[in-house]
Amino acid sequence: MSLKKIALNELNKLFAALSLTKKVYLPVEKAGQYDYAPWEAGVEYRPEVLHTVKSAKSVFFPQSEDLVRYRRSGLSLNIECEAPEDEDFVIFGVHACDVKGFEVLDRVFLSDPADTYYKARREHGAVISVMCGRPEETCFCGTFGIDAEKPGGDIQSWISGETLYMEALTAKGEEIFSQLGGIVADAGEDDAKAVEETLSGHREIMKKLPLSSLTTEGFGRDADLLGLFNRPEWKELSASCLGCGTCTYVCPTCQCYDIREYNTGKDIRRFRVWDSCMYSDFTMMAHGSPRPDQMQRFRQRFMHKLKYYPDNYDGAFSCVGCGRCLQKCPVSLNIAKVMKKLGGAK
Amino acid sequence: MQGISAKIISRAKELMRDGTVNKVVGWKAGEFFYDCEPYVFETEESLDGLVYNRFCAANLSKYMIKNSIATGEDSLKVLVLLKPCDTYSFNQLLTEHRIVRENVYILGVGCEGMCDIDRIRENGFKGITGIGENADGKTLTVRTLYGDGEVVIDDVLVNKCEFCKGKAHKIYDELISDNEDEGPRGDRFAGVRDIEAMSPGERFAFWKGELSKCIRCNACRNACPACSCRKCVFDNNASGIASKANTDSFEEKMFHIIRAFHVAGRCTDCGECSRVCPQGIPLHLFNRKYIKDINEFYGDYAAGEEAGQRGPLISYTEGDIEPAAVSDKGGK
């Protein structure tokens, strides 16, 4: 595995070179907040921004996307399906937590029958990850066995001083390097040392994170499903939940969606849109909602992350410890509080 | 504020012990010093977890809709902690018959202004692990995983506190407060005037930039004490306008504009909408615009100042302004 390098202030050359043939998504500022958006001249990568508001999943699984359009002309009905993604793109600057988030979505959307739209984006998208520079106090990826030092993807990279060091992990990653040509240089032995120093500094910080001792004990495949489901503490844990969708919409692993239709006046568009189990009409059926009160909806979200998903996918959890819900819940409810309250050997 | 925190806990315990109340709605200490969560305390012991500090910005008034309505219990008396600004929301909910007053015991708590952890982060602090209020009363020491620093409290106040309405409680049964009322702080309409001064094109671009960040999580609506419909039209699939999509189209802007119109005349400017928005959209500016217009058209009016008052938008007088006044303003 060979290490490549590029100065941080040269990154725009890298984005420009890649942009010749493909879109490059990265965290872009809009009115004070960062979300993934295509690079264009003038956009700078800001390594000190730890998290985008919406996670990187929005590139592969957009918040809303049209699927089908219906239009009536005379006595005939035209039905047009949206074409799946057919152009290559790159997503730059993803941290380990969000990269693991892609794997959580993959298990759902790529298992048979695969989701056509998601699959096309995954096939056409390449991920360039960057190790998080300064984790926040709300970070707890280690709880789910994620190694922040090896952020993964097609190319993984580390920032040391004013330089970005990159390593290809897949054929897609190698292909990107070949496209970049002389824009990235081969790194030497001193560079490897610089990376190692960055890593050891990072390791020290990870040990000091306030949630570093949070464990998944009491959850997962071996946990007692009904025991967990019937715990009386769900009531107090959820008592102040507003029932908004913030936690689900900032989450890198929430994958529930709704399919709806919209009359534009000219045609009917059937679109897919992120749904939230916090909402009163989530999984609404003819008889009504299977979860009529907020406690049940709240429980659903955490049971899904910590029990149902592991049951369905070989024990893997569907939380990556990014901490977005800890930072964004309007009333400070979050998965860490749930895990502390309900976890342990009970 | 630490001082009154102990007083609040001991008084709440007393009131629970002597049977005056059987529940307490307050803020509970969280994982960190800043993530205080609205919480219903049901036992005296649990009150040890109550916290009142610089990070108790959440307005508890709206929780009293569900917590003041008895469901099967013989006697329900719930203590709620209200900061001065929260009492406006409480009064407005009383006016709208959404809270059962006789089931509530209001313990008004003094407030020196709440801090916004996001604004502290915007000052460049990462990995924040602790905070200390300095002796000067004007600065905070911020402790982080990467070293310590200082911020000026005035620079990191929650928006609503930057433009504090005053330290006087508008309704209470009992007060614990060390604060003198010094009246309103700052000019809360300055931000509105800045937008009014824009050209229509600039104004459109400003709101397009802000509102296109919306992820349609509905946090603003769900936190808003004026949004207390049992079923929101946007959640009603039979309404034809229910929508979960965030789009960059005009529809998204309509959601926020319609919501602001719906709460016009009832919004107390409690600022929860902007506080809870995960995208930092300054939604309060819509509400302040309507409050400013109402003040200019009908004379100064503060929703929630008193319970039971009739707002200008629901009381007709012959002197009411003619609709033509709107077009005379040139779209501002």
CA distance B116 to B271: 12
What is the DSSP-derived secondary structure letter of residue B163? Answer: T
Size of chain A, expressed as the number of residues it contains: 346
Buried b (16+ CB within 10 A) or exposed e, A211-241: beebebebbeeebeeeebeeeeebebbbbbb
Query: Closest approach of chain B CAs to the CA of A34, in angstroms?
Result: 9
Which chain B residues have a beta carbon less than 8 Å from that of A334? Answer: 31, 35
Where is average pLDDT lowest: A257-271, A322-336, B272-286?
A: A257-271
The arithmetic mean of pLDDT across residues A194-204, rounded, is 95
Q: Hey, how many other C-beta atoms are within 10 angstroms of the C-beta on B242?
A: 14
Alpha helix stretches (DSSP H) within chain B: 2-17, 63-67, 84-95, 117-122, 159-162, 190-196, 200-211, 219-223, 250-263, 272-276, 284-298, 324-328
DSSP states along A245-275 = SHHHHH-SS---EEEEEEE-SS-EEEEEEE-
Contacts 24+ apart (CB under 8 A), A181-190: A181/A17, A183/A6, A183/A10, A183/A13, A183/A14, A183/A17, A184/A4, A184/A5, A184/A6, A184/A14, A185/A4, A185/A5, A185/A6, A186/A2, A186/A3, A186/A4, A186/A5, A187/A2, A187/A3, A187/A4, A187/A5
pLDDT, position B2: 64
Which pLDDT does position A68 carry in this prediction?
95
pLDDT tens profile A97-132: 999 999 999 999 999 999 999 999 999 999 999 999
Q: How far is B6 from chain A (nearest CA, A)?
A: 22
Q: How far apart are CA A100 and CA A148, in angstroms?
A: 10
What is the residue extent of each domain of chain A? 3-208, 225-342
Q: Can you tell me the distance from the alpha carbon of B329 to that of B196, in angstroms, rounded to the nearest whole number?
A: 10
Per residue in A276-301, pLDDT (tens digit) is: 999 999 999 999 899 999 999 999 99
Q: Tell me whether residue A38 is exposed, middle or buried, using C-beta atoms within 10 angstroms of its C-beta: 0 to 12, 13 to 18, 19 or more.
A: middle
Token output for B319: 């002197």
DSSP calls for A200-221: HHHHHHHHH-TTTT---TT-ST
Confidence grade of residue A262 (pLDDT, cut at 50, 70, 90): confident
The pLDDT of residue A345 is 42
Give me the pLDDT at residue B164, please: 94
In angstroms, rounded to a whole number, what is the distance separating the alpha carbons of residues A248 and B219?
Answer: 12
Nearest-by-Cβ selection for B129 from A137, A244, A273: A137
Low-confidence ranges of chain B (pLDDT < 70): 1-2, 72-74, 246-253, 329-332
- Out of B30, B129, B278, name the one closest to residue A246 (CB): B278
pTM above 0.90, yes or no: yes
Q: Please determine, for residue A162, whether its predicted confidence score (pLDDT) is greater than 70.
A: yes
Task: Mark yes or no for CB contact B244/A137 under 8 Å.
Answer: no
Q: Cis ω on the peptide bond leading into residue A113 (within 30° of 0)?
A: yes
Mean pLDDT over residues A175-191, rounded? 93
Mean pLDDT of A225-240: 96
Closest-CA residue of chain A to B40: A239
| Measured distance between the N- and C-terminal CA atoms of chain B, rounded to whole angstroms | 42
> Which residues numbered 56-75 in A keep a CB inside 8 Å of some CB on B?
63-64
Give the pair of three-digit tokens for residue B268: 């107390």
pLDDT at position B1: 64
What CA–CA distances, in Å, run from B139 to B126, B131, B164, B272, B321?
Answer: 18, 10, 18, 24, 47
pLDDT value, residue B236: 85
Partners of B32 on chain A (C-beta within 8 Å) are 137-138, 210
A8: three-class secondary structure by DSSP: helix
In sequence order, the 6+-apart residues with CB closer than 8 A to the CB of B73 are none
Which tens digit of pLDDT belongs to each residue from B92-111?
999 999 999 999 999 999 99
Residues of A in contact with B40 (CB under 8 A): 236, 239-240
Strand A163-168's sheet: what is its strand order?
A33-38, A23-30, A89-94, A125-130, A155-160, A163-168, A3-7, A185-186
Write down the mean pLDDT value for chain A.
95
Q: Does A279 touch chain B (CB under 8 A)?
A: yes
**Least reliable range by pLDDT among A189-193, A342-346, B312-316:** A342-346
Q: Say whether B280 and A134 touch across the interface (CB within 8 A).
A: no
In total, the C-beta contacts within 8 angstroms joining chain A to chain B are: 142
Write out chain A residues lying below 8 Å of B129, CB-based.
137, 210
CA distance B2 to B216: 37
Contact B127 A332 (CB under 8 A): no
Total residues found in chain B within this entry: 332
- The confidence score (pLDDT) of residue B246 equals 63
Strands B78-82 and B104-109: parallel
